Amino acid sequence: MIIAQISDLHVQPAGQRAYGIVDTNHYLKLAVQQLNRLDPQPDLVVATGDLVDERTEAEYRMLKTLLAPVKAPLYFVMGNHDNRAAFRNIFPELPYLPADGFMHYVLDDFSLRIIVLDTLVDGEGYGEMDAERLTWLEARLREAPTRPTIIFMHHPPFETGLYGMDQLRCRGNEALAAIIEQYPNVQRIACGHLHRSIQTLWAGTLCTVAPSTAHQVALGLHADSPPALVMEPPALHLHLWHEATGLVTHTVFTGDFAAYSYKTKEAISLYEARER
């Protein structure tokens, strides 16, 4: 089973750039091309929040248009740049989403159980797992305590050393850790938000953070590092699940890269069906 994770799309209205700089819509088109030429195709694609930039319905309409060519089934997670009501107005047809309230859900039909958490706090950059959300999660974990499970959430619950972004992490993380520690079947907590590829052991499981499909957050490890974006290569994560070997996460950079046969030293085409 393969899960592709794209994150922090920050889709804009037509003709606009994020921060006046980054053509995020263009970069999402490149990410969609990358997703569609994956071979084998992923069983599903999970978009882990900051789907759009300014929370408007016009942006969600653009998101829908840009993602329409994706071949694999799509699943969505809320980030701090998202708005539940605007999203639901433009994506009313998604059967897995609750009609109102938090956009948590469980996908039980795959060999790896998938739990999606909604950490959005309206109008805030940080996220939160408050008592209501923790209760929901604990009930879901209690339903299947031995099934291998992956949790998707936008805000990472751990500190990264990126001082500015750590102020905007998921609040309630100690209570969340106390729950996760009781469930060794949680194979992974896969996050977004930080616009960088980051991994750490936390609460007895591996937490991973996927890079953005567009701009990345600059590596500022001092308390006074100025907040900055950097045009390091966009990428996505692929989570490969095999019962025998476990869950392995790959970083896949977005773009058309030359590949060479070790035997002939000639360039080979890995992707015959490229969209140009």
Query: In the complex, which residues of this chain contact Fe ion (CB under 5 A)?
Result: 8, 50
Least spacing, CB of residue 135 vs Fe ion, in Å: 27
Whole-number Å distance between alpha carbons of 263 and 158: 44
Nearer to Fe ion, 8 or 128 (CB): 8
Nearer to Fe ion, 50 or 128 (CB): 50
Least spacing, CB of residue 234 vs Fe ion, in Å: 12
Nearer to Fe ion, 152 or 241 (CB): 152
Least spacing, CB of residue 192 vs Fe ion, in Å: 7
- Beta strand residue intervals within 103-176, DSSP E: 105-107, 113-116, 127-128, 149-152, 170-171
Cβ–Cβ contacts within 10 Å for residue 9, how many?
29
Whole-number Å distance between alpha carbons of 132 and 102: 10
- Name, in order, each residue with C-beta under 8 angstroms of 221's C-beta and a sequence gap of 6 or more: 161, 162, 163
Least spacing, CB of residue 48 vs Fe ion, in Å: 10
Q: What are the two backbone dihedrals, phi and then psi, of residue 47, each rounded to the nearest 5 degrees?
A: -100, 110
Nearer to Fe ion, 82 or 149 (CB): 82
